[in-house]
Amino acid sequence: MNAVYHAANSRGHADHGWLKSNHTFSFANYYNRDRMHFGVLRVVNDDHVEGGKGFGTHPHNDMEIITIPLEGDLEHRDSMGHGGIIRKGDVQVMSAGTGITHSEFNTNSDRPVKFLQIWVFPREKGVEPRYSQMHIADHALLNDFQQIVSPHSDEEGVWIHQDAWFHLARFDKDVSREYRVRKPGNGVYIFVIKGQARVGEQLLNERDGYGIWNADSFTLESPEDAEILLMDIPMELPQL
């Protein structure tokens, strides 16, 4: 098994007043040649947007964009005519494909909205843009792996144009579970949303990241109550 550890305090940081963001991988003004991506996982941004503020209309193309709200209410509008609010307990995906524009705003004036925005390279360029969101909290699993993203529309969660599976793990203290990699050649990037996790001898604290590859399985432990995101993704970049 190969592994790489990314401590929370080693991430890039941006403070624009209304927006505070931590970047696991190179993004915007943060550049680290050793932190460009992990396999097809290109961006893991940990965003905090102040009340009433947000991102104005801006474009994307040829990227799978997954948003996981952690706190507050985030309003989405896009050039495909979709509009709505996502909250903790939801997951949202956009396939940017041939090109879309969208905006994201905090609908509340009195409290921040916090969310993870994750970008994944797709299998191929030029797919038809699409949008989907789902309320996943009703199907939450305690002390197990809840699938929230997959490559197939008939699987649990939302789907994307990539051989990737995302799982949320909500573990009580001292839980231990084996995770089996979903596809040969895939790696898994673990991001600790809350609490602590351990893989082998590596202890992971809140907002730490840990990438694993060349492994068929591993054991994930929780030294304390934890919420953990696992992103099971191809390690080879597509030839886009």
Q: pLDDT tens across 207-219, in order?
A: 999 999 999 999 9
What does the DSSP assignment read for 186-231? Answer: EEEEEEEEES-EEETTEEE-TT-EEEEES-SEEEEEESSSEEEEEE
Question: What pLDDT, on the 0 to 100 scale, is given for residue 138?
Answer: 83
For 152, the token pair is 């197939």
Q: What is the C-alpha separation between 159 and 207, in angstroms, rounded? A: 25
Residue ranges in the chain modelled with pLDDT below 70 = 240
User: Which one-letter DSSP state was computed for residue 21?
Assistant: E
What does the DSSP assignment read for 138-161? Answer: GG--BTSEEEEEES-TTSSSEE-S
**Can you give the pTM of this predicted structure?**
0.96
For 167, the token pair is 């799982």
Where do the structural domains in the chain lie, given as residue ranges? 2-234
Question: What are the contacts of 128-131 at 24+ separation with CB within 8 A?
Answer: 128/95, 128/97, 128/98, 129/80, 129/94, 129/95, 129/96, 129/97, 129/98, 129/99, 129/100, 130/80, 130/94, 130/95, 130/97, 131/78, 131/80, 131/82, 131/92, 131/93, 131/94, 131/95
Question: What pLDDT, on the 0 to 100 scale, is given for residue 57?
Answer: 85
Any idea which architecture 2-234 has in CATH?
A: Sandwich (2.60)
Helix (H, G, I), strand (E, B) or coil at 10: helix
For 73, the token pair is 């209410």
Question: What pLDDT, on the 0 to 100 scale, is given for residue 240?
Answer: 62
